[in-house]
Structure 1
């Protein structure tokens, strides 16, 4: 639980029955046993390593086994080719396999599906409209690429305008933008940290954060997800003991201590406990890096993310990171903060020095969305979309609770993980829903804990009530057929009036 303007925000993590977990374990180990049996009887022709005595292995044997004999069996559930804009609906190219997932062939048929798998939170993934018009105009004005890095002839006026608008939107002194969201973390974090620094990272942080921290060479301590007490214990010990390499038993303090968290954790649907973390950050004089990839645009009265949602001062967060790939329907990312910090990144960031500048049409799309969210277009379209997303989120989460399935995360989170538990139910759930013209994403080990496979529903302001009702009806049928009703929480069986749902603002 965490507090929001005097209220309590509950990040629900309901545990399943012991029997469910035992059966999930048994089913997973049966898959593993069948995989080892298949490998022993029908050994595949795969690459082997020779003459590498004294060298580490080039690949992990278990990873390759898991990929061939477990993941391969259900790999048709992912990587569906899409031949449309990923809006409220999308079009999939159908394909079939005749050799259990080793190869696929296209059937030539298309399938139009309700899209519950894209991070199109505000519905700006559109092929027409004011943002698309700006992108087309930018393509004619600047071309599709600048042909250079930001430091080497790659900066245009449109990049400067985007950074000014981003800083204004976030309420910070300055901001810098990049062409790739993943690289915004992985190529900038190494410019901020060194070997004499300590990173305290939430255990559920994204792979891009983990990669960036690893490249920096900083020492890493992991704290349990959203566990403020554990975080404070690590902070206290870090300050008391300092760096482990001591000279003549002399206390050597850390050069920097930096806390890394996310606004909304995409696998859990949970919110960061931001007010409490800011309190700890101030108390122990640490730095705070906040990744708002899934919360910027989607949360807060005007879409300014968890900082606005909790009523915090953006200047209390040293570095505000986010991506333009989700709520903005575009690509790339940003980092905002104090002018001194951003100026440092402009000089030293690998993404600024070596990566091509953001494509001008991509930047134009983001500028269009920012102007809509800030009301600079003269309409209330941005406010309307934010409210629609919040209403859709509350409606779907409350209806899923009535159905009796277990979902994780906050009631205000548009990322809704629906727990499947059994690895085999990933395949049955995704395949069944696609046959019913609903496209969604299910994930399992190693992206989640081994016995917590889940289907991740991503809601959008573009979804209509009729579309959501159809999806909920089919999910309820799926839950009955495959045994997904694991929740033991009391159900509110009263009808839910969509239009009268009370929003969080």
Structure 2
């Protein structure tokens, strides 16, 4: 894209306007004339087109802008190789900062061997829900290993991490209860809270004084109250003060749920998560929630806690009762990953060192890393969505894959490139990635590319 004095060229503006003119808004289907009485009376009266959904209209506009900027669609991009610290996209080798294989275990020979043997022995499905005919010993082995991480009585594994949170929250709470969650909590918790029928109120991100004030004002109006946070936030790379959270939940008689999706294998000297890092007895947290798809390179989710909690969820959580049991290959992949994490703590140490290096270099380069603590997740906050997508495209051309996160994945005006750090990234790769990012950020700022500029062109088109 050519610019004039660091701004959009006239040729680019003309090309953009022409592209957008060729992408007209989709009008609702015309209403048919009224008919005789009966069920046919409303035929054609209401819009049944998917194309007229407001979100789809916004998507079409975004694609038009991307086409005018010669940007490839950044979503659902195909990888041509096993993704870890490195990958291959469209035939091009890349250093990969978009996958959450934090300890580099995807493709580990021990895990591959365990999965092959499990498939030979058990097949690819248990062919039933666990409550009926799908219970297997490997489920219980994995659950014991997960419970051990938290010194918990027991654990329960689900076939979906997202469904784990939805099912657990929805099963435990009802209309007489209150859910207080961090404002940046993952979507799965929000959906579970909505389905529960409980009152849901977010507190400002990691603002425990704000949480305490909300409890002081409302605790006695509800039967049960659950506080929900994350061990490491997936968009910002920071976490809460667990010691203070435990004290607050005890004082106000609440349940505390901590989502460890991005903190197991990442926090603590041996990767046992935020409780190990904070020096807190993990049994002081009521509900540990997590996924098997990040550090544990499998698929599914888990809950760990007291025996009554797990016994209850076995009978009441929809994602457990009405879903197929976890297949052997997924269970054995996660179980073997836990065993490797235990015997190779050097992987955790390398990950943490790499995370701190990335954070330090990014700050030195003047990049906005927000509140990241420099573990496995560090964002480079850009603000403008269009600039963020453009940056990701330019970095990809330089062999660096960092995914653009834009609203609604993050709040408005806080679009960012998210860098997932792995124990297997080299120092040279991290240094090169930070340097390239700083160069490209400076470039798009000089060019003045932004959604605001595009909006002005859209207004020009409309008038």
TM-score by length of 2: 0.84
What whole-Å deviation, never above 9, does each CA across 1:345-396 have from its counterpart, x for those lacking one?
Answer: 0111111111111111111111111112223xxxxx2x11000000100111
Q: Residue 111 of structure 1 aligns with which residue? A: 92
**What is the CA-CA distance between 1:72 and the residue it aligns to?**
5.7
Of stretches 331-340 and 409-418 in structure 1, the one that deviates more from structure 2 is 409-418
Q: 2:118, 2:329 within 8 Å by CA — same for their partners in 1?
A: yes
- Please say if 1:42 is aligned against 2:4: no
- Matched residue count: 416
Contact 1:144 1:360 in 2 (8 A): yes
Matches of 1:180 and 1:392, distance apart in 2: 29
Q: Distance in 2 between matches of 1:233 and 1:68?
A: 44
**One of 58, 69, 81 as aligned partner of 2:61:** 69
Q: Pick one of 391, 395, 398 that aligns with 2:360.
A: 398
CA distance in 2, matches of 1:72, 1:395: 38
- Shift in Å at residue 431 of structure 1? 1.1
What secondary structure does 1:479 align onto? helix
Deviation of 1:65 after TM superposition, in Å, equals 2.6
**CA shift in 2, pair 1:439/1:358, >3 Å:** same
Q: Distance in 1 between the 2:433 and 2:383 partners?
A: 21
Residue in structure 1 matched with residue 9 of structure 2 by the alignment? none
Q: Residues 314, 47 of structure 1: CA spacing in aligned structure 2 closer, same or farther, 3 A cutoff?
A: farther
The Cα shift of 1:220 comes to: 1.0
Partner of 1:299: 267
The within-5 A match list for 1:306-317 is: 306-317=274-285
Instruction: Identify the residue that residue 385 of structure 1 maps to in structure 2.
Output: 347
Matched, 1:203 2:200: no
CA distance, structure 2, for counterparts of residue 449 and residue 208 of structure 1: 17
Matched, 1:275 2:243: yes
Closer/same/farther in 2, CA of residues 312 and 76 from structure 1, 3 Å limit: same
Higher fraction of helix? 2
**Residue 40 and residue 273 in structure 1: after superposition, are their counterparts in 2 closer, same or farther (change >3 A)?**
farther
- Distance across 2 between alignment mates of 1:339 and 1:226: 29
Q: CA deviation at 1:465?
A: 1.6
State the shift of 1:46 in Å: 6.9
Measured on the aligned residues, the alpha-carbon RMSD in Å equals 2.5
Separation (CA, whole Å) in 2 of partners of 1:48 and 1:309? 61
Judge conservation of contact 1:221–1:234 (CA < 8 Å) in 2: no
Question: Alignment partner of 2:127: what SS?
Answer: coil
Structure 1 residues 56 and 295: CA distance shift in structure 2, 3 A:
farther
Residue 40 to residue 440, structure 1, CA distance change in 2 (3 Å): closer
Is the Cα contact below 8 Å between 1:271 and 1:413 reproduced in 2? no
Q: Give how far 1:422 is off.
A: 2.0
Secondary structure of the residue aligned to 2:331 is helix
Aligned equivalents of 1:162, 1:39: Cα separation in 2 = 56
Secondary structure in structure 2 of the residue aligned to 1:463: coil
- 1:86 match: secondary structure: coil
Are positions 1:171 and 2:155 aligned together?
Answer: no
CA displacement, residues 387-437 of structure 1 (integer Å, 9 cap, x when unaligned): 000010011110111111110233343111101122221232111111111
Q: How far apart, CA to CA, are the structure 2 residues paired with 1:483 and 1:40?
A: 28
Equivalent residue, structure 2, for 1:98: none
Please, which moves more after superposition, 155-164 or 446-455? 446-455
In 1, Cα distance between equivalents of 2:376 and 2:323: 32
Residue 61 of structure 1: CA displacement?
Answer: 4.9
> How far is the alpha carbon of 1:45 from its aligned partner?
6.5
TM-superposition CA deviations, 1:429-459 (whole Å, max 9, x none): 1111111111110111222222111100000
Q: CA deviation at 1:295?
A: 0.6
C-alpha separation in 1, matches of 2:53 and 2:303: 38
Give the alignment's TM-score, normalised by structure 1.
0.78
| SS of aligned partner of 2:378 | strand
Give the conservation status (yes or no) of the 8 Å contact 1:124–1:327. yes
Q: Is the 8 A contact 1:169 1:370 kept in 2?
A: no
1:255-266 to 2 correspondence within 5 Å?
Answer: 255-266=223-234
- Secondary structure at the aligned position of 1:264 is classed as coil
1:334 aligned residue (302, 320, 333): 302
Deviation at 1:329, TM superposition (A): 1.1
Question: Is the aligned partner of 1:138 residue 2:118?
Answer: yes
2: CA distance, partners of 1:402 / 1:237: 43
Residue 443 (str. 1) matches residue 405 (str. 2)? yes
Q: 1:435 to 1:284 in 2, by over 3 A?
A: same
User: What's the CA shift string for 1:76-115, capped at 9, x where partnerless?
Assistant: 122111121111111113xxxxxxxxxxxxxxxx121110
Quote how far apart the aligned CAs of 1:278 are. Answer: 0.9
| Structure 2 residue 445 is matched with structure 1 residue 480 | no
Structure 1 residues without counterparts, runs of 5 or longer: 1-30, 94-109, 243-253, 376-380, 485-505
Could you tell me how far apart the structure 2 residues matched to 1:276 and 1:266 are? 21
Question: How far does residue 44 in structure 1 lie from its aligned partner after superposition?
Answer: 3.5
Q: What secondary structure, in the 3-state scheme, does the structure 2 residue paired with 1:85 have?
A: coil
For 1:334, what is the secondary structure of its paired residue?
A: strand
